[in-house]
Structure 1
Amino acid sequence: MLNTFQQAHHRALPHASHDEAAREEFTKSFKGFIQSSLLPGLTPIYNEQVKPAFQKEHGREPADRRDIRSAMVKNLYFQHYASANRVAQEILWESVNVSLDRQLPELLETAKQLSASSKARLDIPEDFTPPRYITALDIHCMPGGYASEVAEQDITAGALYDRGVYLYSMGYMGPENDDMGRSVCNYLRRNKPDFKPLRILDMGCTVGHATLPYKEYFPDAEIWGIDVGGPVVRYAHARAAAMGHEVNFAQMNAEETSFPDGHFDLVVSHILLHETSGKAMPRIFNECHRLLSPGGMMIHADLPPFDLMDPFTQFILDNETWYNNEPFWGAMREMDQVDLAKRAGFAAEAIKFDNAPMAVMEFAGGSDGYSEESATEVADREFTAGEYAPGGGWEVLVAEKELAQEMAA
């Protein structure tokens, strides 16, 4: 059996040489060291040094994460932590790029062959323009971002992301980088065992890592993954074929898709919302409601809203905004997503936040991922500042569209 913390190889994935693999594993271990050894030191630094100094200067305690940041950025230990985190992110991508550049011609040809062998659709429009909030900067410092094209029929960004995000998550996405999709599928099996969607849409799918579990759990469903990046969508199509799945992919904006009204029974996303803008999020919610059939479900999986965390934990997680090219990370967590869902047309009583325990954590604990006991055990954990998925699970915003008769009434 494959070790949970080894990435499963497939034909579309860059194959690292011995030295390349050693560099890549170093970056993963370095990130692990930062999380396990440097990060815990921030709490006593804050409580014993920074907080008392703030109180002395201002005559009050820090009120929120912004107050905490204004004080912590002056501290040498925090500067060391933040610098190490940024360096780890940059060398992570560079370690993969060395391997990717060496194999790019071969990988481009392999991806073409895999896509040609698939019966599933791949739609790449000629006149598509990705939104500026995606192209204006390299999100999470990934060189070139999701949409940059460096070759004909390019898949470079997808191959870089597939390996890079595994290293970024330190293996916690599981062997196939699909923990979020599996976690949401397990959530549906527990909470909606009779729900059998016939059409499923994954918004912001990148390389389809979270998309494929839906094909496993709902093999008869027609499944689409969409993303604004052409290279990641091409790679996703080839990757799915390499892994034996017939899944459709398209370059499309989740704010305004070309699918007809009521076309899908389930619309999902996995860490998409924090990479959109304040103007885009309401449009995405509106589009979800339009696309859903009566009785259909919308599920957005991400990290928890800030109101579920103490200010210090907010501060730690908000470092992604400041140091990892995630400009909407903090702002997204302050938006009232329940209100956005209401404004999109979902009934208030049909909207809720819930926890989907990490499938990889349940697997490591010997669970099949379906039992309520294992879900409760994982979900009851406390949030820990800096933990990969706080509390050992993904926060899911769930909304159900009214049935046809209820809408008519």
Structure 2
Amino acid sequence: MVVLNTFQQAPHAALPKANPEEAARQEFSKSLKQFVQQGLLPGLGPIFRTRATRRFEREAGRAPTDRHDIRKAMVPDSYFQHYAAVNRISQELLWDGVIDSIDRDLDGLRGRAADASAQNKGELRLPKTFDVPRYVSALDIHCMPGGYAGHGAGNDPALGALYDRGVFLYAMGYTGPDNDDMGRSVCNYIKRRLNGFSPTRILDMGCTVGHSTLPYKELFPDAEIWGIDVAGAQVCYAHARAGAMGLDVNFAQMNAEQVDFPDSHFDLIVSHILLHETSGKAMPQIFKECHRLLSPGGYMIHADLPPFDLMDPFTQFILDNETYYNNEPFWGAMRDMDQVKLAVDAGFPSDTIRFDTAPMAVMEFAASAAAGYSQDAVDSVAERDFTAGEFAPGGGWEVLIAQKAA
């Protein structure tokens, strides 16, 4: 019997091919991240509840009440400093290991990507000129060298290859062998919860390398599917990646704030961790574009992590470390925004707007495989509570759902 290792990335033609030394370094960075999550992170709670809180109370004359107070209490503590430093080092190490694989075989990677792109019968739309929003271009998000859009990278698929492999390592394998857990989880949610909804045109906003886009082609094989992103290099790689996986999907360099499609063109618009990568000024416009682009009765589904009002302050503090230490300036700000109000202001009826949880597909698969596809095992995974840490075992993706009036 062949057993799929859910936590190893599946190879495809466009993915960088690591030699044994590079693979070992990459696995080390992934394992170091797992150690941070499983070995260091659990120790933060006891530190906060004891010496950090006592220090804050002595200095402030009151107990800490919100994530900002907790940060003031924790940052001076040597244990927290150790945790934050190792976490940042692990992030930088993973990019270094992948870059070596790309640089060693750059011409080969470009050639394989070109061949794979030619296999994709879907359109690749690249404008002659394009202004990448400053909130994307001004910093290296996730500490990724060059950022998502690169600095003068043009449309070189090497930047997409860096993202494809780097994100898998960052997620410690919890995005699944095809790096597609978010899209697959939302697809599972649609099948289970949207009562036979079958869109004919689907738009994935902020698709980067299209890893979350492709499951929609599997679920809705006859649908016209588009993935858009502000990074030309990412959508070029996405087009090649889809071809390498035998799927015909359209990709375009576009800004989700101003999408070059007519009104009511799509039945389903999705995004996967787009919202916390965009600015507070851009997000209202993105919601308005979703409403404009949707056909009557169509759905908008944004998958991300829960808003802060659904978490306790300590969990908020843990997640907000991305804002401070991983070049994620909109991480905390996005979760403070009233996304339901943004959807209402964009034109969605208030009674159609809700937050829900899409259980992680990779965890459901792992549980069902281990239990011989026992439905009880699947249900037990689906019912676990959200745990601090972006890719925490047993977690679920939070989805914001709204439906345009019919």
Q: 1:358 aligns with which of 346, 357, 360?
A: 360
The amino acid of 2:248's aligned partner reads: E
The answer as to 2:304 corresponding to 1:294 is no
1:4 and 1:84 map into 2 onto residues whose CA distance is 26
- Answer yes or no: is the 8 Å Cα contact 2:122–2:249 preserved in 1: yes
Cα distance in structure 2, aligned partners of 1:311 and 1:179: 27
Q: Following TM superposition, by how much is the alpha carbon of 1:375 offset from its aligned partner in structure 2, in angstroms?
A: 6.7
Amino acid in structure 2 at the alignment position of 1:52: R
Percent of aligned positions that are identical: 68
Residues of 2 paired with 1:373 and 1:60: CA distance?
Answer: 46
- Give 1:148 deviation, angstroms: 1.7
Distance 1:173 1:181 in 2: 10
SS at match of 1:318: helix
Structure 2 length as normaliser, TM-score? Answer: 0.96
Superposed displacement of residue 116, structure 1: 2.2
Matches within 5 A, 1:66-81: 66-81=68-83
The alpha-carbon deviation at position 338 of structure 1 amounts to: 0.2
Q: Is the 8 A contact 2:275 2:283 kept in 1?
A: yes
SS at match of 1:366: helix
Q: 1:388 aligns with which of 386, 391, 394?
A: 391
Do the aligned partners of 1:190 and 1:371 also contact (CA within 8 Å) in 2? no
Contact preservation (8 Å) 2:367, 2:378: no
Name the aligned partner's letter for residue 179 of structure 1: D
- Correspondence 1:84-103 to 2 at 5 A: 84-103=86-105
Query: What are the ranges of 5 or more consecutive residues in structure 2 without an aligned counterpart?
Result: none
2:271 counterpart SS class: strand
Q: Is the 8 A contact 2:228 2:256 kept in 1?
A: yes
Could you say what the CA RMSD is over the residues aligned between the two structures, in angstroms? 1.7
What is the correspondence of 1:274-293 to structure 2 with a 5 Å cutoff? 274-293=276-295
Q: How many Å apart are 1:109 and its aligned residue? A: 1.7
Give yes or no for the alignment of 1:398 onto 2:401.
Answer: yes
Deviations 1:214-265 (A, max 9, x none): 0000001000000000100000000000000000000000000110000000
- Pair 10,237 (structure 1): closer, same or farther in 2 beyond 3 Å: same
Q: TM-score, normalised by structure 1?
A: 0.95
**Take 1:237 and 1:222, find their aligned partners in 2: how far apart are those partners?**
14
Deviations 1:302-345 (A, max 9, x none): 00000011111100000000000000000000000000000000
> What amino acid does structure 2 have at the position aligned with 1:114?
A
Structure 1, unaligned stretches of length 5 or more? 404-409
Aligned length: 402
Q: Give the corresponding residue for 2:33.
A: 31
Partner residue, 1:170: 172
1:140 matches 2:142:
yes
CA contact (8 A) 1:155 1:234 kept: yes
Q: SS in structure 1 opposite 2:397?
A: strand
- Measure the CA separation in 2 of the matches of 1:213 and 1:271: 16
- Residue matched to 2:49: 47
**Distance between the aligned counterparts of 2:327 and 2:155, measured in 1?**
27
Letter in 1 for 2:140: D
8 A Cα contact 1:357 1:375, kept in partner: no
Shift of 1:385: 2.3
Matches within 5 A, 1:110-189: 110-148=112-150, 153-189=155-191
Check the 8 A contact 1:260/1:291 in 2, yes or no: yes
Contact 2:120/2:246 (8 A) holds in 1: no
